[in-house]
Amino acid sequence: MPSSDWSNSEKKIARRVFDSALQCELAEVMAAFKKKAEAAATPEDMWEVADFLLRAQRNIDAEYDFRYSQLILVFGRLLRQKRIAEEDLAGLAEDKIGGIKTIASL
């Protein structure tokens, strides 16, 4: 079981990895939003864009939880989705990396 204690250096690494993955995902959503908004020609299209944004916001809010008690799970999912790389986790304790890899393999 990974330790729930995070050293100051691990906290900095975790914040950097988390923020980087979040910014990449937000950039993808922004690009998709712009494409959909530009293509919208009818009121129905407009509401579809709004629905897209709402779904994206809900997904991101559910996926990105920066509570230290949740980071092993969050990083495991991000690693499985290839939003982060194992190298990004360098500097974290081995038990944390092991827990993240276990989650990623599920």
* Predicted confidence (pLDDT) at residue 72 exceeds the cutoff of 70: yes
Q: Residue 81 has what pLDDT?
A: 97
Contact between residue 99 and residue 72 where contact means Cβ atoms under 8 Å apart: yes
The H or E element that residue 21 is part of is helix 8-39
Tens digits of per-residue pLDDT, 8-20? 999 999 999 999 9
Is 0.75 topped by the overall pTM?
yes
Confidence label for 7 from pLDDT (cuts 50, 70 and 90): very high
Phi, psi of 89 (to 5 degrees): -90, 0
Region 23-41 average pLDDT: 98
pLDDT at 42 over 70: yes
Provide the residue ranges of all domains of the chain, joining segments of one domain with +.
8-105
